[in-house]
Amino acid sequence: MTLVSHAPLTVTAPVLAPAAVPAPGRGALHPLLRPGAIASLAVVLVVLGWALVPGLFTAADPLVGVPAEKLSPPSAAHWFGTDNLGRDLYARTVHGTGLSLQAALLALGLGLVVGALVGLVAGYLGGAVDAVLMRTTDVLLAIPGLLLSLAVVTALGFGTLKVAIAVGVAEVATFARVMRAEVLRVRTTTYVEAAVLAGARRPAVLLRHVLPNAAGPILVLATVQLGVIVLAVSSLSFLGFGAVPPTPEWGSLVAEGRNYLAVAWWFTTLPGLVIAALVLAANRLGRVLEGRTHR
């Protein structure tokens, strides 16, 4: 018998070339350079221009109308048409931006400052102080924002400033909750503990170490909430709590046209679209900044 020896078979696995991994940041637009973000930024800049220099965008008088041209549809002469007294609706919208935006920014500032202060103190001190402040915040959060604003503005009275205060009070709880969460995260970091062990006083630790490192998400939240606040301010103005007629204001412009929807759709629709555009633009920019913050 003849034994035949076979050489061991060698199986060679195919070598796969590593997949090409795109370099980070290449092939993708910066979030602020995307079409949606650019359009949102353009809307915000136009609205700011209306508020700061309305005369640059329209030469028409928002308070003087031509009775013969009342309820005229949008045209080259009147971009947004005219109202029931013949006043140029585009001019009234542009000149009403200042009051509406002023009230919204005042409300935002009040909610941001007071809410951030409450959250800062509650998160850093903890214990009974935290319990009392957060239970108060929970009560405010349990009440719908518009209902709370209505209650406050009813107690304060009419006027743009009163509307701003009412909306700002309703926003305090939201900012307080977010700030407290950030302070709870920051106060356990090494640099804060090192500052405390080094003998730094509490106010110094709060102002120099905790607040700067917890402020980022709060500022992003402020951008997101701006749209909500504009909508709340316009809602109270729509209900008649804002500026006294004939002073133009976004919410009051929408309210004035609600009785003419059947014959003059532009009276309410076009100012309402301006409000919607600013709310959506502010929300979009806030989401972009929020995404950049969480990276």
**Cα separation of 287 and 279, whole Å?**
12
Helices (H), 159-243: 160-186, 190-197, 202-205, 211-238
- What is the signed CA dihedral for 109, 112, 118, 120, rounded to 10 degrees? -120
* pLDDT tens digits along 125-178: 888 999 999 999 999 999 999 899 999 999 998 899 999 999 999 999 999 999
Q: Tokens 């809307």 appear where?
A: 43
- Model confidence at 22, pLDDT cuts 50, 70, 90, reads very low
Query: Which domains does the chain show, CATH number per domain?
Result: 49-293 (1.10.3720.10)
82 has which bridge partners?
Answer: 88
Q: What's the angle, vertex CA 120, arms to CA 116 and CA 160, rounded to 5?
A: 20
Q: How big, in percent rounded to 5, are the helix, strand and coil portions of the chain? A: 70, 0, 30
Looking at the predicted structure, is the pLDDT value of residue 289 above 60? Answer: yes
Mean of the per-residue pLDDT values for the chain? 85
pLDDT of residue 294: 55
Per-residue model confidence as pLDDT tens digits over 256-282:
999 898 999 999 999 999 999 999 999
Q: Is residue 98 classed exposed, middle or buried when 0-12, 13-18 and 19+ CB atoms within 10 A define those classes? A: middle
Return the pLDDT at 28: 54
Q: Is the alpha carbon torsion for 196, 199, 204, 208 positive or negative?
A: negative
In the numeric block, which tokens belong to residue 3? 């034994």
Token couple for 105: 């920014």
Q: Rounded to whole angstroms, how far apart are CA atoms 209 and 159?
A: 40
Number of other residues whose CB lies within 10 A of the CB of residue 283: 17
Report the range of poorest mean pLDDT among 31-40, 227-236, 238-247, 279-288.
Answer: 31-40
CB 97 within 8 A of CB 43: no
65: helix, strand or coil: coil
- 88 strand-pairing partners: 82
pLDDT number for residue 32: 66
pLDDT tier, 213 (very low <50, low <70, confident <90, very high otherwise): confident
How many residues does this entry show for the chain? 295
Other Cβ atoms within 10 Å of 21 Cβ, number: 6
